[in-house]
């Protein structure tokens, strides 16, 4: 009897558990991220190591580099099998037809006084001059400010901000700041041979024995204490030093593993330089994980194209986004609260939610319909369900009158039962298999095909013309790696580029129809920041996932993205009141904010005290809208993130480089979320001045402080000398009164603030002294009230 009861209890337990699935790495399954690092440590492959600068023209900064052949050989010692890169002779026949030590193109190209480019080839390449979708103008600009001088054993180019030296024999490139401090240098064979027992792959390329394809290893030296940041929305260690990072767009199935929805081939170093790996192939970066003083950029491309940027973090981000593009300012309404769940299924659902938001005085601007607005859930056919939506166009109009925009979910994959599947296949709008068929069960749209883009944009345009404000650009990480694309390339080059093409297609048709640049996207590649905005994927509803979400937000911000959001409370399951209440102010103090995930997500579905707290946090956001809007404008113009790592504003504070559990919201507000059920926590305050608690008014000195959260469960401080613009509370950004703005001065009687009116989108800096505005550039338009 007891046994039977136990079995029954287990059966009941199993039947109530929500089983979820995710990708298991290292199993060789469909669309698993490609890690190319094993190709650089294989006994069967041939390695060509950069050896000597054989020719060089100082006027064009171009020439040729000789590469010597190596293979891994073995030696047994003390019962260990050891390996070493050993020089070898050519193995081709006839020997006179192939170069044993090829001399291949090498050039330095100057992009700006702070930026230069290293371009190298492992063989003939007729694609180097093609326009690049990753670069905002299709190609890099040319700068003529770098001055040449001959130096002992090589060549030097210098600008006002730094210099590079190219050594002849052995070939080596060294990068310096304006004070002559070495920032980094190429790691060459001479740096390692006879100096370490560890076999290190220096700067060179691999030729695979399996198919004779080639890929570069751009190996650079790491300095003691050097830290590495960026590389996209990475949820693992904030500082990538000592880690290996695979850059391959992937449905990460959460925010606590090493794969990424948003890999970006760009990073910055604490030593004052940044690197952009200009390619769309899979990349594996080893930042001293294998060998502590070498960063190995293993790039799938057979050509190497590296951009280097010199400066402080702000300057590096400005340079990188000058090259790959700065975001257009999203519409004002997008900065309001987005209400969603997975999913609202009907017009009645949507209208009820809009009504409840207004009845409960929860400020909000967007109602989002996720996967359920079609006749069949998840089956994307771009048509509202006729059985559940009586008049979607009128619904959207009614929403807009009440201060709501409408957002709709969709995806670029079409199941065989989708009514559009046959049309897509018959017209050849999909990515093709080797034989020209559909490579998956689904038809995946090929955005490298102009006909596909036109067909797709017509579908999206139909929704936008109904009055839809934004399209959710979901998925995009599963472009077939072995697929054949209309561009003439395989998925090895198109997989990572797919999110950028996808983002671009939706953003451009939205701009054409509505006049606004706005999407809500999950996947990215370099250049996607031009098409805001993006959110952090499917977080678990746990404390650790909340902390990982912040790390992802900080990292994507250090990869050129100004705007970013996340699902408040997590996505995978309904959040507990405790977690949801602490995640809410974290979400409200992000550039964009949305509640979304497994129901319930609506605040009235929880206790009255929870809803009061949720309302307080939402009210705070809407009162701060003048600050949020002005800081967003400043961020967009300068390539800065709204969710900002502390060291962006305080690069000379060593402690600021260590913080991954707090952030600057714009330049003046510091936010430290509560990642567990506590009312206080330790917070590092950067710089040398004072910080004022926004909620309590208490003043704290820079450095470590134990701080109590206020009524809203978050720690929020304002920099001494900042004036924070506020507006009177409104239930929608549509109803905000921009003719009266309150400037709250924190600390010093002398303060500054940015103000930007949505009507003209011009950024104004307001100076205050002694409780008075020194000059009001908004005179006649907006009254400024000073409070302390």
Catalytic residue IDs: 474, 477, 538
The dihedral of CA 210, 215, 221, 226: what is its sign? negative
Strand order in the sheet with 567-568: 564-565, 534-535, 520-521, 470-473, 405-410, 366-369, 337-339, 593-595, 567-568
Joined tokens for residue 754: 């940015």
CA–CA separation, 320 and 231 (whole Å): 13
Spatial distance between the Cα atoms of 71 and 86, rounded to a whole number of angstroms: 5
Residue 63 CB contacts under 8 Å (≥ 6 apart), including other chains: 53, 54, 55, 56, 57, 106, 107
Alpha carbons 191 and 169: distance in angstroms, whole number: 13
State the Cα–Cα distance between residues 53 and 406, nearest whole angstrom.
Answer: 59
Report how far apart, in Å, the C-alpha atoms of 706 and of each of 655, 681, 683, 685 are.
Answer: 16, 6, 6, 11
DSSP H helical ranges for 497-649 = 498-514, 543-557, 577-588, 608-623, 625-638, 646-649
- CA dihedral of 231, 233, 235, 240, whole degrees rounded to 10: 10
Q: How far apart are CA 421 and CA 438, in angstroms?
A: 11
Dihedral, 486, 489, 490, 494 alpha carbons, nearest 10: -80
The DSSP element (H or E) to which 410 belongs, if any, is strand 405-410
Q: At what angle do helices 577-588 and 608-623 cross, to 10 degrees?
A: 10
| Residues in the chain, total | 788
Region of residue 476 (left: phi > 0; alpha: psi -120 to 50; beta: else): left
Sheet-wide strand order for 699-708: 643-644, 663-665, 669-672, 715-719, 680-693, 699-708
Tell me the C-alpha to C-alpha distance, in Å, between residue 192 and each of 196, 219, 224: 6, 12, 17
Tell me the C-alpha to C-alpha distance, in Å, between residue 553 and each of 333, 540, 643: 21, 15, 7
Residue 567 to residue 541: CA distance in whole angstroms: 10
Pairing verdict, β 763-769 and 772-773: antiparallel
- Strands of 418-506 (E only): list them: 443-444, 470-473
Helices then strands, counting H and E runs in the chain, come out as 14, 42
Residue 568 pairs with which residues in a beta bridge?
595
Task: Tell me phi and psi for residue 162, to 5 degrees.
Answer: 170, -175
Q: 262 with 244: CB under 8 angstroms?
A: no
Is residue 251 a contact partner of residue 23, using CB atoms and an 8 Å limit?
Answer: yes
Here the contacts of 354-361 (C-beta below 8 Å, separation 24 or greater) are 354/399, 354/402, 354/404, 356/602, 356/604, 358/402, 358/731, 360/603, 360/604, 360/611, 360/615, 361/615, 361/731
Report d(CA 280, CA 260) in Å as an integer.
Answer: 15
CB 485 within 8 A of CB 446: yes
Check: CB of residue 725 under 8 Å from CB of residue 755.
yes
CA–CA gap between residue 272 and residue 227 (Å, rounded): 10
Cα end-to-end distance, the chain, whole Å: 72
- Which residue reads 């809500």 in tokens? 520
């Amino acid at each position: 009897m007891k046994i039977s009861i136990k079995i029954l209890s287990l059966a009941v337990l199993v039947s109530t558990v929500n089983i979820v699935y995710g990708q298991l790495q290292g199993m060789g399954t469909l669309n698993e991220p490609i890690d190319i690092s094993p190709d650089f440590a294989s006994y069967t492959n041939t390695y060509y190591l950069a050896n000597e600068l054989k020719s060089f023209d100082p006027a064009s900064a171009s020439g040729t580099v000789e590469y010597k052949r190596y293979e891994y050989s073995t030696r047994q010692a003390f019962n260990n099998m050891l390996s070493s890169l050993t020089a070898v002779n050519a193995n081709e026949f006839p020997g006179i037809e192939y170069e044993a030590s090829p001399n291949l193109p090498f050039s330095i190209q100057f992009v700006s006084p702070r930026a230069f480019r290293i371009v190298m080839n492992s063989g003939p390449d007729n694609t180097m001059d093609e326009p690049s979708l990753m670069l905002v103008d299709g190609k890099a600009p040319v700068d003529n400010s770098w001055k040449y001088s001959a130096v002992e054993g090589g060549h030097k180019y210098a600008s006002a901000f730094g210099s590079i030296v190219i050594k002849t024999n052995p070939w080596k490139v060294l990068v310096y700041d304006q004070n002559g401090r070495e920032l980094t240098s190429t790691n060459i064979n001479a740096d390692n041979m006879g100096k370490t027992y560890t076999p290190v792959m220096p700067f060179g390329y691999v030729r695979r024995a399996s198919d004779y394809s080639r890929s570069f290893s751009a190996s650079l030296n790491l300095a003691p204490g050097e830290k590495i940041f960026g590389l996209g929305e990475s949820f693992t260690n904030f500082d990538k030093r000592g880690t290996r990072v695979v850059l391959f767009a992937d449905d990460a199935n959460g925010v606590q593993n090493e794969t990424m929805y948003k890999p970006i081939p760009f990073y910055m170093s604490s030593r004052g330089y940044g690197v952009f790996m200009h390619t769309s192939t899979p990349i594996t970066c080893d930042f001293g994980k294998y060998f502590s003083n070498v960063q190995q950029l293993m790039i799938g491309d057979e050509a190497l194209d590296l951009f280097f940027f010199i400066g402080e973090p702000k300057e590096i981000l400005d340079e990188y986004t000058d090259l790959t593009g700065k975001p257009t300012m999203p519409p004002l309404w997008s900065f309001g609260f987005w209400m969603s769940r997975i999913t609202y299924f009907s017009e009645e659902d949507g209208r009820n939610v809009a009504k409840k938001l207004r009845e409960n005085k929860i400020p909000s601007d967007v109602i989002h319909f996720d996967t359920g607005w079609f006749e069949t859930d998840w089956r994307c056919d771009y048509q509202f369900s006729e059985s559940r939506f009586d008049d979607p166009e009128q619904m959207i109009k009614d929403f807009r009158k009440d201060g709501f925009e409408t957002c709709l979910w969709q995806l670029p994959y079409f199941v065989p039962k989708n009514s559009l599947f046959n049309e897509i296949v018959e017209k050849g709008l999909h990515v093709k298999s080797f034989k020209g068929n559909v490579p998956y069960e689904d038809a995946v749209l090929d955005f490298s095909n102009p006909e596909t883009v036109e067909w797709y944009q017509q579908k999206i345009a139909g929704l936008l013309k109904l009055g839809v404000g934004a399209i959710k650009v979901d998925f995009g990480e599963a472009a077939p790696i072995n697929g054949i694309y209309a561009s003439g390339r395989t998925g090895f080059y198109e997989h990572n580029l797919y999110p950028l093409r996808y983002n671009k297609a939706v953003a451009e048709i939205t701009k054409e129809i509505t006049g606004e640049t706005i999407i809500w996207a999950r996947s990215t590649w370099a250049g996607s920041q031009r098409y805001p905005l993006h959110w952090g994927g499917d977080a678990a509803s746990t404390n650790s996932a909340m902390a990982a979400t912040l790390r992802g937000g900080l990292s994507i911000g250090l990869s050129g993205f100004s705007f970013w959001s996340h699902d408040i409370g997590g996505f995978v399951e309904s959040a507990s009141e405790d977690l949801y209440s602490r995640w809410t102010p974290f979400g409200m103090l992000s550039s964009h904010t949305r509640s979304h995930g497994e129901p319930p997500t609506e605040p009235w579905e929880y206790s009255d005290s929870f809803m009061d707290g949720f309302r307080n946090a939402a009210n705070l956001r809407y009162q701060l809208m003048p600050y949020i809007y002005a800081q967003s404008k400043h961020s967009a113009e300068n390539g800065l993130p709204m969710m900002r790592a502390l060291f962006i504003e305080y690069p000379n504070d060593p402690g600021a480089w260590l913080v991954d559990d707090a952030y600057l919201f714009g330049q003046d507000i510091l936010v430290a979320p509560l990642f567990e059920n506590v009312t206080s926590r330790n917070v590092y305050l950067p710089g040398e001045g004072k910080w004022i608690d926004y909620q309590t008014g208490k003043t704290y000195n820079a450095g470590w402080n134990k701080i109590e959260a206020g009524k809203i469960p978050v720690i929020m401080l304002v920099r001494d000398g900042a004036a924070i613009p506020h507006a009177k509370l409104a239930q929608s950004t549509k109803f905000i009164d921009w003719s009266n703005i309150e400037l709250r001065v924190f600390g010093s009687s002398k303060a500054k603030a940015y103000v930007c009116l949505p009507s003209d989108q011009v950024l104004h800096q307001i100076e205050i002294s002694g409780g008075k505005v020194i000059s009001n550039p908004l005179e006649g338009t907006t009254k400024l009230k000073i409070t302390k």
